[in-house]
């Protein structure tokens, strides 16, 4: 097995850069997500290095001012959908994925995918995609969210069931707020609901 150590220069340099680019709260959240991604990777047999990097880097674009986010999307030729145009808080996922190679010199399709879909999810997520999506929700420093205790317990038992719980909770939160629901969020919910129903029928 390839050696892994969170004290390697690679991770130290990334943390140093993130500490500069993110506000204090976001930096603490980021370290929480990286640690939980690592635990889930151990539990589900995923590459620890990829899981730790995905966790560390998932919100790398979060604290960029909105106008600059839009300019950077043009630079990377990122096409924004309607929900992203109306809700700029969604942009940091795709933008963060494109900055991986350019800013952090990480060229890895699996990490790119996990970061690009970490806010909305997507149908047919890889195990790494699921781990990051879940770690973002359950990391220890998150403010109390609905169903958090159940979601935390489920995370180490069944990834798909956990994804569905998180999506249910997110959709009901967004509906309460009257926020525009990204097509991807709705599609992901539908996909995992049907998948779990089919599994129950077996
Ligand atoms: O970046 P984080 O705060 O750690 O978490 P995140 O990347 O999941 O982003 C969370 C925000 O994104 C939260 O304010 C809810 C919002 N969000 C998630 N799905 C949708 C959404 N917002 C809209 N408008 N539509 C969605 O489908
Ligand atoms: Fe995020
Ligand atoms: Fe996050």
* pLDDT tens for the 202 residues of the chain, in order: 679 999 999 999 999 999 999 999 999 999 999 999 999 999 999 999 999 999 999 999 999 999 999 999 999 999 999 999 999 999 999 999 999 999 999 999 999 999 999 999 999 999 999 999 999 999 999 988 888 999 999 999 999 999 999 999 999 999 999 998 999 999 999 999 999 999 988 7
Six token digits for residue 149: 């205790």
**Which of 161, 159, 160, 181 lies closest to 170 in space, CA to CA?**
181
Tell me the C-alpha to C-alpha distance, in Å, between residue 101 and each of 31, 63, 118, 186, 196: 20, 18, 17, 29, 35
Please state at what angle helix 48-57 crosses helix 109-116, rounded to 10 degrees. Answer: 40
**pTM (two decimals):** 0.96
**Cα 21 to the chain's mean position, in Å?**
18
Q: Is 178 left (phi over 0), alpha (psi -120 to 50) or beta?
A: left
Rounded-to-integer distance, Cα 39 and Cα 163, Å: 17
Pocket test for ligand 1, best of 66, 117, 119, 125 (most atoms within 8 A of CB): 119
Ligand 1 pocket: which residues have CB below 6 Å? 29, 59, 62, 83, 87, 89-90, 93, 118-120, 136, 170, 174, 179-182, 185
């Amino acid at each position: 097995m390839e050696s892994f150590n969170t004290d390697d220069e690679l991770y130290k340099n990334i943390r140093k850069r993130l500490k500069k680019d993110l506000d204090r709260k976001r930096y603490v959240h980021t370290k929480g997500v990286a640690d939980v991604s690592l635990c889930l990777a151990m539990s589900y047999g995923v590459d620890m290095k990829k899981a730790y990097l995905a966790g560390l880097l998932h919100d790398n674009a979060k604290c960029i001012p909105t106008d600059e986010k839009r300019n950077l999307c043009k630079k990377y030729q990122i096409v924004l959908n309607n929900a992203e145009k109306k809700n700029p808080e969604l942009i940091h996922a795709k933008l963060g994925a494109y900055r991986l190679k350019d800013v952090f010199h990480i060229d890895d399709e699996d990490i790119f995918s996990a970061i690009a879909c970490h806010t909305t999810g997507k149908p047919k997520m890889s195990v790494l995609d699921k781990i990051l999506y879940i770690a973002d929700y359950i990391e220890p420093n998150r403010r109390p969210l609905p169903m958090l205790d159940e979601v935390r317990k489920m995370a180490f038992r069944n990834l798909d069931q956990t994804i569905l719980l998180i999506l249910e909770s997110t959709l009901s939160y967004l509906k309460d707020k009257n926020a525009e629901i990204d097509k991807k969020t709705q599609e992901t919910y539908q996909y995992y609901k049907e998948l779990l129903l089919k599994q129950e029928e077996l």
